[in-house]
């Protein structure tokens, strides 16, 4: 490994795995500059650890491992040959190409040396522990790009044999039809892609959800949007359940709006992985978070946004009384606004008065400035919020 995995992570077990390859890295060994080595998801998790946020223990099977396996099997030339005869604007051809490429991975066996390294790192998390296995692509979870849900994630993976299989399946998901089509639309080249795989101790969550550090429903950056439901987070991330929802004032933590949904289904752990189950009747209309837990999530959200320097889309999970953050990525759906000048937090109205300056051949007179000021105030009054910040 890049360095021994022997640091105790936030609220997690100590990792003390010893490996015989430089293709496996503990999350806390990574830096923000190593996206090419570990992928976007892994690097963001490492940054959250660096910010002191509660992240489950884990490691990443690096892009070096992916490239080594691809080279050993000579898969790269086969992939490029398939893509070379595929029309980028033909959806049917893209689907066929993706199917053919993913079929190549079905015969992939991880080399013995890498198998030992992965197994050692896995055992460091605990004896036969359940883990989450997530794709971490080099073009994922980056500003301006949204690969959310396009690559595979596997929850409640138990045992080294199952883990190795899921890692290969994560590699193969780099070439699924949705991801291939999205990369073409975004102008991302396919000839230098690589896939990292994050392996983390599974949070056996009784409640989980998504936390946006800016409200994507109305674009307000002075609000948080918090979703929560019972069980593992898979159902809420995939949109299969109707979660509880809170709108929270970012500055004060005050709950602005609360909607408690009827939660009839949840995702649970089973001996075979995960499954949907019915929520007990007494919990279906009960809030899935207490006020104290909402307050804790508000505090964690502010730390995350401050550390990354931009609004974040955070996945979280609560096991017992402990909250963990399992993923963070930039929110890509917010409309860009100018930087707010120092002052009181709140909504701002931005009015472009450039047309005035283009039409004026002489400097503004005092009465001209007054007239423009009156016009702008009227626009603010008619179109803006009832209470307009003074600064």
CB 56 within 8 A of CB 28: no
Q: What is the b/e burial string over 53-81, where b = at least 16 CB atoms within 10 angstroms of the residue's CB? A: bbbbbbbbbbbbbbbbbbeeeebeeebee
In the prediction, which pLDDT does 9 show? Answer: 37
In the prediction, which pLDDT does 345 show? Answer: 67
Among candidates 245, 327, 288, 266, which has minimal Cα distance to 54? 327
End-to-end CA distance of the chain: 53
- Kindly list the structural domains of the chain, giving each domain's residue range(s) and its CATH number in brackets, ordered by start: 24-201 (3.30.1490.20), 207-330 (3.30.470.20), 346-391 (no CATH)
| pLDDT tens-digit map of 132-157 | 999 998 865 455 555 555 788 899 99
| Chain mean position to CA 256 | 25
| pLDDT tens-digit map of 295-308 | 999 999 999 999 99
Calculate the alpha carbon distances from 370 to 26, 360, 362 in Å: 62, 15, 16
In the prediction, which pLDDT does 313 show? Answer: 95
Q: What is the pLDDT along the chain (391 residues), one digit of tens a residue?
A: 443 333 333 443 334 333 335 699 999 999 989 999 999 899 999 999 999 999 999 999 999 999 999 999 889 889 989 988 888 788 899 899 999 999 999 889 999 999 999 999 999 999 999 999 999 988 654 555 555 557 888 999 999 999 999 999 999 999 888 888 888 777 777 777 888 999 999 999 999 999 999 999 988 999 999 999 999 887 787 777 889 999 999 999 999 999 999 998 888 887 777 888 888 999 999 999 999 999 999 999 999 999 999 999 999 999 989 999 999 999 988 877 766 655 666 666 666 656 555 556 677 788 878 888 888 787 777 776 655 555 4
In the prediction, which pLDDT does 390 show? Answer: 54
CA distance 204 to 225: 23
List of E strands, 74-183: 130-137, 153-158
CA distance 83 to 181: 12
CB 305 within 8 A of CB 328: no
CA distance 188 to 1: 30
CB 298 within 8 A of CB 262: no
CB 19 within 8 A of CB 60: no
């Amino acid at each position: 490994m890049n360095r021994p995995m022997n640091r105790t992570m936030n609220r997690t077990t100590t990792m003390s795995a010893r490996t015989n390859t430089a293709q496996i890295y503990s999350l806390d060994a990574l830096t923000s500059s190593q996206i090419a080595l570990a992928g976007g998801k892994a690097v963001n998790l490492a940054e959250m650890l660096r910010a002191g946020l509660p992240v489950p223990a884990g490691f990443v099977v690096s892009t070096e491992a992916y490239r080594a396996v691809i080279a050993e099997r000579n898969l790269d030339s086969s992939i490029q040959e398939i893509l070379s005869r595929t029309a980028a604007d033909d959806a049917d051809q893209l689907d066929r190409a993706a199917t053919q490429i993913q079929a190549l991975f079905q015969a992939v066996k991880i080399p013995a040396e890498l198998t030992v390294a992965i197994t050692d790192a896995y055992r460091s998390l605990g004896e036969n522990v359940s883990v989450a296995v997530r794709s971490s692509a080099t073009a994922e979870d980056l500003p301006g790009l949204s690969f959310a849900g396009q690559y595979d994630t596997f929850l409640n993976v138990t045992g080294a044999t199952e883990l190795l299989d899921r890692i290969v399946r994560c590699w193969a998901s780099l070439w699924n039809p949705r991801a291939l089509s999205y990369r073409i639309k975004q102008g991302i080249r396919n000839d230098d892609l690589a896939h990292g795989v994050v392996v983390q101790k599974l949070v056996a969550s009784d409640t989980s959800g998504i936390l946006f550090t800016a409200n994507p429903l109305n674009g307000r950056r002075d609000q948080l949007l918090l979703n929560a439901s019972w069980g593992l987070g898979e159902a809420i991330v995939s949109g299969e359940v109707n979660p509880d929802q809170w709108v929270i004032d970012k500055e004060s933590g005050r709950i602005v709006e609360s909607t408690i949904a009827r939660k009839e289904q949840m995702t649970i752990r089973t001996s075979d992985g995960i499954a949907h189950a019915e929520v007990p009747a007494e919990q279906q209309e009960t809030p899935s978070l207490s006020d104290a837990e909402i307050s804790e999530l508000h505090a964690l959200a502010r730390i995350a946004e401050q550390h990354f320097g931009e609004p974040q889309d955070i996945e979280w999970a609560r096991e017992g009384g402990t909250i963990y953050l399992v993923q963070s990525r930039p929110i890509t759906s917010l409309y860009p606004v100018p930087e707010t000048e120092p002052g009181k937090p709140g909504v701002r109205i931005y009015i472009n008065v450039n047309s005035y300056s283009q039409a004026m051949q002489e400097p503004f007179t005092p009465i001209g400035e007054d007239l423009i000021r009156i016009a702008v105030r009227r626009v603010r009054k008619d179109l803006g919020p009832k209470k307009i910040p003074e600064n």
